[in-house]
Amino acid sequence: MFRLIVSGFLLQPFLLCVALAEAPSATNAKTEREMKPYKQVITGTRVTFEMVPIPSGIFTMGSPASEEDRKEDEGPQVKVRAEPFWMGKYEVTWDEFDIWSFNLDIQRRKLTNTKATDNDTVADAITRPTKPYTDMTFGSGHDRYPAICMTQLAAKTYCKWLSAKTGHYYRLPTEAEWEYACRAGSTTAYFFGDDAEKLGEYAWFYDNAGEDREANYHRVGKKKPNPWGLHDIIGNVSEWTLDQHIPDHYAKFAKQDVINVFDLLAVPTKLFPRTARGGSWDDDPEGLRSAARYQSSLEWKIQDPQLPQSIWYHTDALHVGFRIVRPLRVPSAKERKRLKLDAKKVKNLRD
């Protein structure tokens, strides 16, 4: 019997069938050939998000020694095999994120006297974060702006909630999946070539993001997408991946011909540093190269006045957000646990 485990709960076969039946047909692809872009409504709200298909393939990860502004942690280059998946057309916005973080779906059901669906019941049982001590947008924009300042745990827990809410399995991308999707078949410094002069057509970064706000991010989708239809994949906000940041990680695989994407995953063993990708509104052009890597640090929590400091927010990471993926092949519960693809169940809401 087919079963799907979401967020530590068993999603019964009939429940998954209900979710799939209500969703657009494009979400029901069983083969790579059937994968199409789709728009999903978050149940019980009017908020939607869009996903685009990313084909399977083999690519060269990292930057060559000859690439200008290259850093040591970007090599040596390795060949990686990626499985097909969908990826968020845009970075996750506050419109989406707040439904989970502020219980807006639950509140709306109470106000409208609407009965919870089976999916709602599963999703409601997933931990929600404590309320932030300040406005995490920092007055820099909310509707259709990317959500920022969340920890990797918060991003992963949002994915667990969204999986339960929709009946489809969503998670953060691995670092290799992120670079594969960003490159979109390219081998140059940027997916559009090596000439940084064109960067303003595709990304918000230090030179064009402005200086009038504390966080100079912009509404998603205002710049050209990459060849696979991903907007703001570079710039705007950096994006969480699943990986631990290990400077010499690629060197361990240098002698292998092709590495499967999950074999390359640096499964986290400690809280810092974790890896973010894509650069942001606060970075110079070289930080938006396809191979550029970023690492989280305790400095992202310096201004958090709470004792102990929150496990949900990086108050000083105004440049960090995330984007979701949905793999065509849903990994087994055992595989997800081994690779730490999902957030652990949170027992204590504070460190």
CA dihedral 267, 269, 272, 278 (to 10 degrees): 0
Residues 6+ apart with CB under 8 A from 210: 216
16 falls within a domain: yes
Average pLDDT per 10 consecutive residues for the chain, totaling 351 residues: 33 35 68 97 95 98 98 98 98 98 96 96 96 94 98 98 97 98 98 97 98 95 98 98 98 97 98 98 98 97 88 96 98 97 74 38
Beta strands (DSSP E) in the chain are: 4-6, 9-11, 38-41, 48-54, 57-61, 78-82, 85-88, 238-244, 259-260, 274-277, 293-295, 320-321, 325-327
Q: How far apart are the first and last CA of the chain?
A: 39
Residue 302 sits in a domain of what CATH number? 3.90.1580.10
Per the CB < 8 A criterion, the answer to whether 45 and 169 are in contact is no
**What predicted TM-score, i.e. pTM, was given to this entire model?**
0.92
- The answer to the question of residue 351 being in a domain is no
- The residue range of the domain holding 247 is 4-339
pLDDT of residue 348: 53
User: Which has the closest alpha carbon to 15: 87, 121, 134?
Assistant: 121
pLDDT for 345 equals: 81
The answer to whether position 347 is within a domain reads no
pLDDT of residue 179: 99
Q: Give the pLDDT score at 22.
A: 39
The domain total for the chain is 1
- Domain membership of residue 345 (yes or no) is no
Distances 78 to 13, 45, 216 between C-alpha atoms, Å: 40, 43, 35
- How far lies 200's CA from each of 14, 102, 206, 213, 323, in Å? 48, 35, 10, 19, 21
The pLDDT, as a whole number, for residue 330 is 97
Residue 310: inside a domain: yes
Kindly report the backbone phi and psi dihedral angles of residue 68, in degrees, each rounded to the nearest multiple of 5, phi listed first: -65, 135
Residue 164 falls inside a structural domain: yes
CA–centroid distance for 295 within its chain:
15
Phi, psi (degrees; rounded to nearest 5) at 336 = -65, -35
By the 8 A CB rule, do 280 and 235 touch? yes
